[in-house]
Amino acid sequence: MGESVTPFRDIDELKMSFNHIKIWFTAGMGFFTDAYDLFIIGAVLDVFNKTSIAGFNPATKILGMPASGFIGASAIFAAVVGELLFGLIADRLGRKTVYGVEASLLALGAILSALSPNLYWLIAFRFLQGIGI
């Protein structure tokens, strides 16, 4: 009667297995890609602002500053949209299925962002990539 109930005791007493390593690796890579994507854009925008890549004009910065904001914010705004959308879908289809779709969208958005011909496509592809984040 004086014994306390610890619902996680069995989990705490498990030995480390390959499945634990897979879970840690998957979660770690998810966090890494999320952080990398959201922080690398700052370095890319710095390069864009110092050159005339993708429609930026470093002399006037008239197009550069608003466009920098749109490029930087598009993935962050899309991440909120993706979290709400895929959260609802994951409740119905399962987390593993949705994780694969999210990873595919992230990869597709990254590839298309690298190949974007101009500023507007870059913003659109970063938005697609952000949904996958």
In a domain, 11, yes or no: no
Contact 95, 88 (CB under 8 A): no
> Both tokens of residue 7?
């619902």
In a domain, 100, yes or no: yes
Per-residue pLDDT of the chain (133 residues; tens, 9 = 90+): 556 667 777 777 778 888 888 888 888 888 888 888 888 888 887 777 777 665 555 555 555 667 778 888 888 899 899 989 999 998 998 888 888 888 889 889 989 988 988 788 888 999 999 998 8
Measured CA to CA, the distance from residue 56 to residue 47 in angstroms comes to 10
Q: Is the pTM of this model over 0.95?
A: no
In a domain, 17, yes or no: no
In a domain, 10, yes or no: no
Q: How many domains does the chain have?
A: 1
In a domain, 59, yes or no: yes
Domain that holds residue 85: 31-132
Provide φ and ψ at 45, rounded to 5°: -65, -35
